[in-house]
Chain A
Amino acid sequence: MATVKVAVDKLSIALGKIDPILDDTRKLTNEAAAMRQTLSSSMTATLANIQAMSGQFRQTSESARVLVGNIDSDRAKVVGEVQGLLKTLNNDLPQALDKTKDTLENARSASADVKQILRESRNDIPAIVRSGRTAAQDAAEITTGLKGSWPFSGAASPAEPSTLPLDSFEGRK
Chain B
Amino acid sequence: MKGWMFMRFILAFLLTTLLAACGSKPPANNAAAIFAQASMQRGATAFAQGDLSGARHEYTRALNVYESLDDVKGRAGALLSLSRIASQSGNNTEALATVNKVLAEPSALDGATLVTAHGRASAIYLAQGDTARADRQLASASAICGAACTDAAALTVLRARSALAQQQPAAALQLAGQALTMPALAASNPPTLKPQASAERANALRLQAQAQLALQQPGAAVAVASEALQLDRALGLAERVLLDLRLLSQAHAAAGAGDTARHYQGLADRAESAGKALRDNARAN
Question: Does chain A bind chain B?
Answer: yes
Residues of A within 8 A of B (CB): 8, 11-12, 14-15, 18, 20, 23-24, 27, 30, 33-34, 50, 53-54, 57-58, 60-68, 76, 79, 93, 97, 101, 104-105, 107-108, 111-114, 117-118, 120-121, 124-126, 129, 132-133, 135-136, 139-140, 142-143, 146-148, 150, 152-173
The smallest beta-carbon distance between A106 and chain B, in angstroms, is 10
Check A12 against B10 for contact (C-beta < 8 Å): yes
Q: Count of A-B contacts with CB under 8 A? A: 245
Check A65 against B12 for contact (C-beta < 8 Å): no
Cα distance A63–B188 when bound, in Å?
28
Tell me if B180 is interfacial: C-beta within 8 Å of chain A. no
The smallest beta-carbon distance between A125 and chain B, in angstroms, is 6
Cα distance A66–B19 when bound, in Å?
29
Give the contact-size bracket for chain B: 35 or more
Cα distance A60–B6 when bound, in Å?
11
Check B41 against A171 for contact (C-beta < 8 Å): no
Check A20 against B8 for contact (C-beta < 8 Å): no
Cα distance A85–B40 when bound, in Å?
25
Q: Which residues of A contact B285 (CB under 8 A)?
A: none
Tell me if B146 is interfacial: C-beta within 8 Å of chain A. no
The smallest beta-carbon distance between A94 and chain B, in angstroms, is 8
Check B26 against A154 for contact (C-beta < 8 Å): yes
Check A158 against B37 for contact (C-beta < 8 Å): yes
B window 16-39: CB within 8 A of A: 16-22, 24-27, 29, 34, 36-38
The smallest beta-carbon distance between A118 and chain B, in angstroms, is 7
Q: List 13 A-B contacts (CB under 8 A).
A: A14-B14, A64-B2, A65-B6, A121-B5, A124-B2, A126-B6, A136-B12, A152-B22, A161-B74, A163-B77, A165-B196, A166-B116, A166-B151
Q: Which residues of A contact B184 (CB under 8 A)?
A: 23
Cα distance A117–B34 when bound, in Å?
38
Interface centre among B14, B126, B184 (most CB of A within 10 A): B14
Cα distance A63–B199 when bound, in Å?
38
Cα distance A30–B80 when bound, in Å?
17
The smallest beta-carbon distance between B91 and chain A, in angstroms, is 10
Check B85 against A164 for contact (C-beta < 8 Å): yes
The smallest beta-carbon distance between A19 and chain B, in angstroms, is 9
Q: Which residues of B contact A79 (CB under 8 A)?
A: 193
Check B193 against A65 for contact (C-beta < 8 Å): no
Check A148 against B27 for contact (C-beta < 8 Å): yes
Residues of B within 8 A of A (CB): 1-22, 24-27, 29, 34, 36-38, 40-41, 43-45, 47, 62, 74, 76-78, 80-81, 84-85, 87-88, 90, 92, 95, 113, 115-116, 119-120, 123-124, 126-128, 150-151, 154-155, 157-158, 161, 184, 188-190, 193-194, 196-197, 199-200, 203-204, 207, 239-240, 243
Interface of B is mostly: helix
Known: A57-B4, A146-B17, A165-B151. 9 other contacts (CB 8 A): A15-B10, A30-B45, A61-B7, A67-B6, A76-B190, A97-B18, A139-B17, A158-B38, A166-B115
Shortest 7 CB-CB contacts between residues of A and residues of B: A155-B26, A64-B3, A171-B127, A65-B3, A162-B44, A152-B21, A168-B157
Q: Which chain B residue lies CB-closest to A24?
A: B196
Q: Which of A60, A67, A125, A170 has a CB less than 8 Å from the CB of B5?
A: A125
The smallest beta-carbon distance between B272 and chain A, in angstroms, is 12
Q: Which residues of A contact B62 (CB under 8 A)?
A: 161
Q: Which residues of A contact B21 (CB under 8 A)?
A: 143, 146-147, 150, 152-153
Q: Which of A154, A162, A167 has a CB less than 8 Å from the CB of B41?
A: A162
Q: Which residues of B contact A107 (CB under 8 A)?
A: 11, 15
The smallest beta-carbon distance between B202 and chain A, in angstroms, is 8
Q: Which residues of A contact B124 (CB under 8 A)?
A: 170-171
Check A170 against B11 for contact (C-beta < 8 Å): no
Check B41 against A33 for contact (C-beta < 8 Å): yes
Cα distance A27–B196 when bound, in Å?
10
Cα distance A118–B88 when bound, in Å?
45
Cα distance A150–B107 when bound, in Å?
32
Cα distance A157–B32 when bound, in Å?
11
Check B197 against A163 for contact (C-beta < 8 Å): no
The smallest beta-carbon distance between B180 and chain A, in angstroms, is 12
Cα distance A23–B182 when bound, in Å?
14
